[in-house]
Amino acid sequence: MEKENQSIARFYIPAVLLILIGAFVSVYNASITHSFWYDEAYSIALIKYSFSDIWLITASDVHPPLYYYMLKIFSGIFGGSIFDLRIFSGLGIIATLLIGIFPLKRLFGERTALMFMILVLIMPVTQYLATEIRMYSWALFFVLGCSVFAYRVYLKKVFTNYIFMALFAIAAAYTHYYALVSVGFIYILLVIALLRKGRNVVRLILFSLIVLLAYSPWIPAFISQIQSVQHHFWIKIPTAKEFLLFLYYFFSPKEPSHPYTIFTLPVMSVALSIMFVLIFAGSIYVWRLPRDKRLSAGDGFVLVYVATLLITFLITYLVKPISTPRYTTCMLGPLLLGIAIYCGELWKSKGKYLVIVSFCFLTLLSVTRLISETKYNEDQDRELSEISRFFHRGSREPKTIISYIEAYPELAKLSLILPDREYLLCSPADETNYRPFAIKTIDSIESFDSFFLVTPDTIPEMGGNYRVTDKLVLSKKTILLLQKY
């Protein structure tokens, strides 16, 4: 009895501690991140609409609606502040950690479960997933849940495993299209694995049809989005530099779209090179290990990530570009689980020290990212203060804020920061519906005597009709107060 209690304490005390650390980091990041970028602004604006409107608006966008429904419900109960909405993303990571405590412990043992939880926490990209007001942390959770219960179906023909696998698959499919591709591959892989094992796959196929039936209400919107993406989509075919980003995105010591704050590009290049060497050495160690059921399971989980990546790259190069690094976080869960299984096996051999060094270096990268992003957020807070002071300086008569299409994302963000203004997008003959933002389109600015103009980095030539009476120059935009002569 005493040994059993010691065994329980040996696992649950560090597991609970890891969850508390994850919760603390999520709350800390949410508390210091007051600014938001365009995609987050989209989420914030969309949840102000009704459930039926959310369905219609997302149907004309490029993502399914489940995350927005969940966020709307959460904000309705706990509040809709920026902090509250960021906490909801953090809960997706906490839910992922809980999978480590329960099913993973029973499936793969205490060591692998703890290693998985540690990997989730020390992976630098987790900080992004836990605070970004987007669907990625929950997509990760749903895809991971689907893959874990698929493995349980493989091990044992238990009805509840099929049910939970289907529920996670439906949730994943309604959250992100990369998650949809992942769960589709999981079902195909499981069918192949069961057939090789000599198992009957009728029940699995029936549950696959149930998943498809549950997804059928969204299929018309899905087809419409495919047709829309064929004509216009912001993603381009990755360049060689952008392809490199796919390789280091998960363990980058800063958000790739943010500027360097506490280190330089050469320093980051050295750090990433070290990480690549550690990954290469670990891969060699794993390759040399004698194959068994645990390693084969690890291969299967990693294959979910690799296959989804390859499928989306094929679509990108053969049909239409849809590949961007942050989308790949949807299948990060199975990848980290596979790596945790590998690390658990390496721990029993000479590879133990490589695991320790790798985990320590990942922790260093993660701490560096935390400090770097803290500095970035401080700079963003200063910009927000400058914007507020600029618009409220003296007696600001014009309530109209206009931008051209190039500065539309900045106009959208301002519509949430200063909601008591009129927001107009000067885009001639543009019939686009810019919901969920309260933005209207106009053909010309000539009818306005005075207004604020939001522009990209440079100040445009306004011709002889307007003079600039005030301006605010920021890092990525300029705001002008214009008065007609």
> For the residues 298-327, what does the mean pLDDT come to?
93
pLDDT digits (tens, 9 = 90+) for 371-413: 999 999 999 999 999 998 898 876 667 889 999 999 999 999 9
Rounded distance, CA 63 to CA 74, Å?
A: 19
Cβ atoms within 10 Å of 227's Cβ, excluding its own: 8
If residue 111 lies in a helix (H) or strand (E), which one and from where to where?
Answer: helix 110-122
> For the residues 453-467, what does the mean pLDDT come to?
75
What was the pLDDT predicted at 109? 94
> For the residues 280-304, what does the mean pLDDT come to?
94
More confident residue, 93 or 456: 93
Judge if pTM exceeds 0.85: yes
What was the pLDDT predicted at 61? 87
DSSP 223-242: HHHHHHHHH--S-----HHH
How would residue 136 be classed by pLDDT, with cut points 50, 70 and 90? Answer: very high
Query: In 3-state terms, what secondary structure has residue 319?
Result: coil
Percent of the chain at pLDDT above 70?
Answer: 95
On whether the CB atoms of residues 346 and 286 are closer than 8 A, the answer is yes
pLDDT digits (tens, 9 = 90+) for 16-68: 999 999 999 999 999 999 999 999 999 999 999 999 999 999 998 889 999 99
User: What average pLDDT is seen over the chain?
Assistant: 92
Q: Is the pLDDT score of 3 beyond 80?
A: no
Cβ atoms within 10 Å of 283's Cβ, excluding its own: 11
pLDDT digits (tens, 9 = 90+) for 65-113: 999 999 999 999 999 999 999 999 999 999 999 999 989 999 999 999 9
pLDDT digits (tens, 9 = 90+) for 184-229: 999 999 999 999 999 999 999 999 999 999 999 999 999 888 877 7
Q: Which residue has 């198992």 as its token pair?
A: 199
What was the pLDDT predicted at 396? 65
Q: Is the pLDDT score of 1 beyond 60?
A: no
How would residue 447 be classed by pLDDT, with cut points 50, 70 and 90? Answer: confident
Q: Tokens standing for 238? A: 């990755």
Q: What is the DSSP letter of 259?
A: P
What was the pLDDT predicted at 310? 96
Query: Can you give the residue ranges of every domain in the chain?
Result: 2-380, 394-484
Rounded distance, CA 119 to CA 333, Å?
A: 10
What was the pLDDT predicted at 232? 66
What was the pLDDT predicted at 85? 97
What was the pLDDT predicted at 8? 73
On whether the CB atoms of residues 109 and 297 are closer than 8 A, the answer is no
Point out the least confidently predicted range of 165-169, 389-393, 461-465.
Answer: 461-465
What's phi and psi for 413, nearest 5 deg? -65, -40
Q: What is the DSSP letter of 401?
A: E
